[in-house]
Amino acid sequence: MVAMAVATVVLTVAVPSFQEFTRNNRLATQTNQMVTALNLARSEAVKRGVRVTLCTSADISAEAPSCTESGDWEQGWVVFVDNTHMAGNVPGAIDGTDERLRVFEPLSGNARLAGGSNFQSWISYLPSGTSRGMIGGNADGTFTLCQGDSGSKGKKILINKTGRARVEDTTC
């Protein structure tokens, strides 16, 4: 009887802690995944001397995923060379001679990843390493990643005008 009582107390304390540990791990992993994509796009833009873009994609499982303005970031995203200097190419859209560099899978769990108004469906990096958003000009802005309901822990990924990303804790 005493052993069962001790086990009940231990489980009552351990299970919520383990769930919080799992949620925090998932949040850190998904934040790192987005920061990796941003850093990849920035470094490839500088290395190749061309514009490189990340965009939301609702068809990640397709053979050739495309960008969408109606999808959310948690559905997955694509990093691609955005040849906007070519006739007919539109910034933030995969078209013409654009080359897909990497496709990122949808986020797991009940994660929500939102870009601010400037990064709602895409963010680009120029050969100088500076960022551009949907509004134009040197872009700064924020991505917010939330795990769970309102009031839960989250992360903000802040992009400054030079294109560098940094991460802060936030409450969703």
pLDDT at residue number 113: 94
CATH number for position 114:
3.55.40.10
pLDDT-derived band at 42 (thresholds 50, 70, 90) equals very high
pLDDT-derived band at 159 (thresholds 50, 70, 90) equals very high
pLDDT digits 0-9 by tens, 5-35: 555 555 555 556 767 888 888 999 999 999 9
pLDDT at residue number 19: 76
Total structural domains within the chain: 1
pLDDT digits 0-9 by tens, 105-129: 999 888 999 998 889 999 999 999 9
**Which contacts qualify for 23-30: CB closer than 8 Å, 24 or more apart?**
23/109, 23/147, 23/148, 23/152, 23/153, 24/153, 26/108, 26/109, 26/111, 26/147, 27/111, 27/145, 27/147, 27/153, 27/154, 27/155, 28/155, 30/107, 30/108, 30/111, 30/113, 30/145, 30/147
pTM (2 d.p.)? 0.86
User: Residue 90 belongs to what domain range?
Assistant: 1-171
